Chains A and B, each alone.
Chain A
Amino acid sequence: MTFHFTKAATVALMGVGLALGAPLIGAAPAEAKTLRMAYDADPVSLDPQEQLSGGTLQFSHMVFDPLVRFTKELEFEPRLAESWEQIDDRTMRFHLREGVTFHSGNPFTAEDVVFTMERMKQSPDFKGLFEPFVGAVAIDEHTVDLVTKEPYPLVLNLATYLFPMDKAFYTGTDENGQPKDALVKHGNTFASTQASGTGPFVVRSREQGVRLEFERFADYWDTESPGNVTEIIFTPIKEAPTRVASLLSGGVDFIAPVPPTDLERLGNDDSINLVTMSGTRIITFQMNQERVEAFQDPRVRQAIVYAINNAGIVDKIMKGFGTVAAQQSAAGQAGHAPELEPRFDVEKAKALMEEAGYADGFSITMMAPNNRYVNDAKIAEAAAAMLAKINIDVDLTTMPKAQYWPEFDKRAADIMMIGWHPDTEDSANYTEYLLMTPDAETGYGQYNSGNYSNPEVDEMIVQSRTMVDLEARSALLQDVERKLYEDAAFVPLHWQNLSWAAAQGIHIEDIVNVMNFPYLGDLVIDD
């Protein structure tokens, strides 16, 4: 009942606006513009701090606003923070935008940022990311300091993850007597079903896993945004062919991701606006040196890298929907060393095997998921066939991700597939999780199933954590990539591309980005 009323009220208000505005500026009549969108999954919770995942962050950019955000060129753009300055080597001061209100009507102040940061440090998913921070300190109503334990180069990167939550709204107890700011991973909480942010869209209704409806926030602060979407109907459509069919049949206007098999078809369709770009999720194989003695020899690891035709995999299996990689850091990231080229040369690979004394090859096991990365199982099959050419006999097992991760944790095969996208969009993050010497205490090398260990690399990454001279830091991280390349620490395959498709007239090309957080508040739909 209430939403019918609001809808009627909005239409009435727009009518008034139209009557007043049209004669004055002679602009085209503003009308309700609905975006019906379908992703492969919907956010698991309305709580922006419950799960650190793409889905949550995409949702956060709709209902909340970060302090700063990345532009398409990976530069920082002011949002709720209008400007910022380094006060000392451990403190960054943010001057907050004035006159911003939350969906609840509460004004946005520095206290909300402090509240958000404190809650962030309680979140099982986010607290690791915010570990370098001491906390946030409110200086006055619209000034807040972010203080780190040590000099920290990525304060702004992490400020893109700081979506201020409405302190007054999330304070008190709900009908079950639970505190409203409770953060429980596997229970019903106030924050997981109610949201009050400052973002361009207000959640109108939600049927989890089926439908999520938003309407534009009438008092949104960013009045300069060109965005003209007044309503969003979000439907998760898991099955890729159905998602594509729904776009083609006009059931929805905007889908993501587009399956590689349909890229050509959608690209050739004049009624469809297809956008793809190279992403930052690297797909790799790790060679377990503890399980296989031969992998301790860098020549054998190099031979494997030389034997795997990753350009061919991108071309044939990914249908060009990927960027061939020779390192972890994608172009544009701090540690990207531009001169590193993909290596593929079977003769060289054979020679290296012979040199290492393994001309006759050996047998190994390999495991890969079959529903985690784009074409993951097919890539593993192709790689296994390529390794047969240098006499490495591969026994490959593929399995759904739900079963794969426990196997990965057990380091259950000699070669395992792992993809990684750094939450911080920072180069050091790849190495920190994938290739540093595993250490349960610090959490370094948590996903290093190859047990690759290079003290020099470890030291360089630790050093980069506190380097605030970004140029020197970038040079250091590039050196890390060079060392890893030389050492053949892992098998680089490719960075997965990102893809979105919409009906013509919906200008998604202006709002999508390499982080895969479309800024839907700024989306323009033609009349």
Chain B
Amino acid sequence: MAVVAFLIKRLFQAALVMFVISLIGFSIQDNLGDPLRELVGQSVSEAQREALRDEMGLNDPFLVQYWRFLGKAVQGDLGDSYFFKRPALDVIADKFPATLDLVIGATLIILLISIPMGCYCAIRPKDGLARVVMGASVLGLSIPVFLTAIFLIYVFSVNLGWLASFGRGEHLVEILPGWKTGFLTWDGLAHLILPSIALSSIMLALFIRLIRSEMMEVLEQDYIKFAWAKGLPARRVWFLHAFKNTLLPVITVGGVQIGIMLAYTILTEKVFQWPGVGFMFIEAVNRVDTPLIIAYIIVVGLIFVVTNTVVDLIYTLVNPTVRLVGKQT
């Protein structure tokens, strides 16, 4: 029951968030620039541009345009991209698998490295390796993603010639209709590795530090001391009792970070010419492709709402004392 009520509440919140986002997105579009400048050549006369603007309905009052947009939006039509000349949502759907590949790659790297490293640094904080890892994590946090990306390209692609410097490669495997992934071929992986590392760089450092500090705090708690006193084996104390309670704040932060990761995909995809939604978005901004910009903002907003809902649900699984909706009587 609680879960259903929670989901219904979230659904309303999502609708409200979408509405506000669309309103904000729509009201800033005049400040993004003039789409006509990107659609026509430089010597086209102002009168000609004005005629096209009229034809496209860009000269209508704000409320008329917004009402027209809302009317279509509730039917799932967010307008056609000026550049791709197709429905904006279709374009995003086409580009999404590429971004998903990248996010999955980066998430794998983060999980596989940050958990063991974080735990190790918490358990043996004075160890030499732990100090090196902590030092490196400060670097990881402070170097901008695009710099990491260019550095990786120059080392592994230009100098060593091991990995590809741009794009997704040609050998992709279609695992679901419309979803081609690069994970299943060597060529695909050779294109995936560098951007995944670049995308994971900041988040990885953050997670190592987070897991370490959380775990150190947990290790100081009474029930752990009691577990030691009881003579439980070290592994059981660390990885069952302590680690499980370390996870709670990590999941909360993780949920928020997935959204932030989407922002970093814009930088990563731009440097690697990765044909995903992040690169599509930055290009849409450069081209003043307003329908696509607004559609992207709305889809990202939706992703935020969904991930946060999922995080809240996972929370209850990890820690049953957390309640979803208010207090139950």
B266 in contact (CB, < 8 A)? no
Query: Shortest distance in angstroms between B119's beta carbon and chain A's nearest beta carbon?
Result: 36
Within 8 A of A (CB), among B21-47: 31-34, 37-47
Inside 8 A of B82's CB, which chain A residues have their CB?
186
Instruction: Chain B residues near A288: list those with CB within 8 A.
Output: none
| Chain A CB within 10 Å, residue with most, of B82, B150, B164, B165 | B165
Whether B271 and A405, one on each chain, are in contact in the complex, defined by CB atoms closer than 8 angstroms, is: no
A173-229 CB contacts (< 8 Å) to partner B? 185-189, 192, 207-211
Is residue B157 contacting chain A, with contact meaning CB distance below 8 A? yes
Q: Does A6 contact B (CB under 8 A)?
A: no
| Contact B52–A124 (Cβ < 8 Å) | yes
Does any Cβ of B come within 8 Å of A449's Cβ?
Answer: no
What mask results when residues 443 to 454 of chain A are scored 1 for a CB within 8 Å of chain B, else 0? 100110000000
Q: What sequence of 0s and 1s flags, for each residue 35-52 of chain A, a beta carbon within 8 Å of any chain B beta carbon?
A: 000100000100000011
- Asked, given contacts A187-B80, A245-B153, A250-B161, whether A402 binds B48 with beta carbons under 8 Å apart, the answer is no
- B48, A405: Cβ atoms closer than 8 Å: no
Interface core residue of A210, A211, A248, A371 (most chain B CB under 10 Å): A210
Chain B 253-272, CB-CB to A under 8 Å as 1, else 0, gives 00000000000000000111
Complex: chain A residue closest to B87, CB-CB: A188
Q: Convert B57-88 into 0s and 1s, putting 1 for each residue whose CB lies closer than 8 angstroms to a CB of A.
A: 00000000000000000000000101111100
Q: Who on chain A is nearest to B280 by CB?
A: A209
A246 interface hit (Cβ, 8 Å): yes
Q: Residue on B with the closest CB to A402? A: B33
B228 contacts partner chain A, Cβ-Cβ < 8 Å: no
316-356 of chain A: CB within 8 A of chain B = none
B125 within 8 A of A: no
Q: Is A487 an interface residue (CB 8 A)?
A: no
> Which of B9-17, B211-219, B283-291, B313-321 binds A?
B283-291
CA distance A188 to B88 in the complex (A): 13
A192, B85: Cβ atoms closer than 8 Å? yes
Interface hit among A232-240, A301-309, A478-486: A232-240
Decide if B33 touches A403 in the complex (CB within 8 Å): yes
The answer to whether B158 touches A248 (Cβ under 8 A) is yes
Q: How far is the CA of A189 from the CA of B85 in the complex (A)?
A: 9
With A51-B41, A251-B166 as given contacts, are A239 and B85 in contact (CB-CB < 8 Å)? no
Q: Taking the nearest CB of chain A, how far is it from the CB of B266, in angstroms? A: 12
Whether B40 contacts A245 by the Cβ 8 Å rule is no
For residue B273, CB closer than 8 A to chain A, the reply is yes
Q: Mark A418-433, 1 if CB is under 8 A from B, else 0.
A: 0010010000000001
B223 contacts the other chain (CB 8 A): no
Partner of B46, one of A188, A207, A409: A409
Complex alpha-carbon distance, A433 and B43, angstroms: 8
Please report the total number of A residues contacting B with Cβ < 8 Å.
49
CB within 8 A of B153: which of A125, A185, A242? A242
8 Å CB interface, A109-157 against B: 124-125, 128-129
Give Cα A479–Cα B105 distance, bound, in whole angstroms. 64
Contact of B167 with A by CB under 8 A? yes
Chain B residues lying within 8 Å of A208, measured Cβ to Cβ, are 83-84
Instruction: Tell me whether A53 is interfacial, beta carbon within 8 Å.
Output: yes
* B45 and A443 contact, CB distance less than 8 A: yes
A406 touches B34 (CB 8 A): yes
Q: How far is the CB of B73 from chain A (nearest CB, A)?
A: 19
Least Cβ–Cβ distance between A3 and chain B, in angstroms: 13
Judging by beta carbons under 8 Å apart, are A128 and B45 in contact? yes
The residues in A between 11 and 53 inclusive whose CB is less than 8 angstroms from any CB of B are 38, 44, 51-53
A192, B81: Cα distance in complex, Å: 14
State A250–B159 Cα separation when bound (angstroms): 11
Q: Tell whether A209 pairs with B45 under 8 Å between CB atoms, given A124-B52, A242-B165.
A: no
Is A402 within 8 A of B34, CB to CB?
A: yes
In the complex, what's the smallest C-beta–C-beta distance from B67 to chain A, in angstroms? 20
Contact, CB under 8 Å: A238 / B285: no
Between B157, B167, B285, the greatest number of chain A beta carbons within 10 A of the residue's beta carbon is seen for: B167
Some 26 contacts from A to B, beta carbons below 8 A apart, are A44-B83, A124-B51, A128-B44, A186-B80, A186-B82, A187-B85, A188-B85, A189-B85, A207-B275, A209-B84, A235-B166, A235-B273, A236-B273, A238-B279, A239-B271, A242-B272, A251-B166, A402-B32, A404-B33, A405-B33, A405-B34, A420-B42, A433-B43, A443-B46, A443-B47, A446-B43
Beyond A128-B48, A186-B56, 20 additional contacts (C-beta under 8 Å) are: A38-B166, A124-B40, A185-B52, A186-B80, A186-B82, A238-B279, A239-B270, A241-B153, A242-B272, A245-B154, A246-B157, A249-B161, A251-B166, A402-B33, A402-B34, A402-B286, A402-B288, A405-B33, A406-B33, A420-B42
